[in-house]
């Protein structure tokens, strides 16, 4: 059995659970399987997670924190470039961390307000996107900003689904001119250009 320094067990369990989630999908994760993979007693995780939803919430919060860090790292002084960078990082997070992303935006944790830390982390992502778009937009009307930000978010969500599908479809579908994946593949080859055009046309 592993030996953990006092206070580190919860952090280690969340780290292990996040890895299991991404590897196998959150539906395959249980507190029992977490205990087994972490090499701790069956009862140890229950000191920190009373239910599977509690565990899901902790993983989702970690995901949102990582996503926020990713979309916040641009150092450019150009407002369009910052927004493009954030959108690209968002897409890359959603495609590279697909199982975690599905947990974050799925229904496994229906009420984020039950978990204040998760609620804050999730809102940080949206607020950051809104702040970036507000700085970029010439129209400063709050209702306009909110509407456009939801549109951006919905667009990114949809594009993540298409890009994930692109990774698994047969090559013949990508080469078919009357199928959508030729266009999706072209977008994927130069995300910066596509996102710049998208943002300018909002």
**Are residues 182 and 82 part of one domain?**
yes
Rounded CA separation 88/91 (Å):
5
Q: CATH number for the domain including 21?
A: 1.10.10.60
pLDDT digits (tens, 9 = 90+) for 19-64: 999 999 999 999 999 999 999 999 999 999 999 999 999 999 999 9
Tokens for 87?
């959108």
- What percent of the chain clears pLDDT 70, i.e. is strictly above it? 97
Name the pLDDT band for 7 (thresholds 50, 70, 90).
low
Q: Tell which of 27, 50, 73 closes a domain.
A: 50
Question: Which of 108, 112, 110 lies closest to 99, judged by CA?
Answer: 108
* Cβ proximity of 83 and 56 under 8 Å: no
Domain count, the chain: 2
For residue 190, is pLDDT > 70?
yes
**Are residues 175 and 83 part of one domain?**
yes
pLDDT digits (tens, 9 = 90+) for 142-180: 999 999 999 999 999 999 999 999 999 999 999 998 889
For residue 1, is pLDDT > 90?
no
Q: What angle do CA 123, 129, 135 make, to 5 degrees?
A: 130
**Are residues 95 and 165 part of one domain?**
yes
User: No. of H helices and E strands in the chain?
Assistant: 10, 0
Q: Tell me what pLDDT residue 29 has.
A: 94
Q: In sequence order, what are the residues at sequence separation of 6 or more whose Cβ sits closer than 8 angstroms to the Cβ of residue 81?
A: 74
* Cβ proximity of 85 and 128 under 8 Å: no
**Are residues 187 and 121 part of one domain?**
yes
- What percent of the chain clears pLDDT 90, i.e. is strictly above it? 94
* Cβ proximity of 192 and 84 under 8 Å: yes
**Are residues 44 and 15 part of one domain?**
yes
């Amino acid at each position: 059995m592993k030996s953990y320094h006092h206070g580190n067990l919860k952090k280690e369990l969340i780290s292990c659970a996040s890895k299991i989630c991404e590897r196998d999908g959150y539906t395959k994760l249980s507190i029992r399987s977490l205990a087994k993979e972490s090499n701790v007693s069956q009862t140890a995780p229950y000191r920190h997670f009373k239910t599977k939803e509690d565990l899901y919430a902790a993983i989702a919060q970690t995901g949102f924190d990582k996503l926020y860090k990713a979309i916040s790292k641009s150092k450019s002084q150009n407002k369009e470039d910052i927004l493009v960078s954030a959108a690209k990082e968002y897409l890359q997070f959603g495609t590279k961390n697909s199982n975690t992303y599905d947990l974050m935006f799925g229904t496994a944790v229906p009420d984020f307000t039950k978990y204040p830390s998760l609620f804050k982390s999730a809102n940080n992502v949206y607020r950051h996107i809104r702040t970036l778009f507000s700085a970029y937009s010439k129209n400063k009307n709050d209702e306009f900003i909110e509407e456009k930000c939801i549109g951006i978010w919905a667009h990114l969500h949809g594009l993540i689904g298409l890009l994930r599908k692109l990774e698994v479809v047969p090559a013949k579908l990508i080469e078919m001119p009357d199928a959508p994946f030729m266009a999706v593949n072209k977008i994927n080859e130069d995300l910066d250009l596509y996102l710049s055009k998208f943002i300018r046309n909002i």
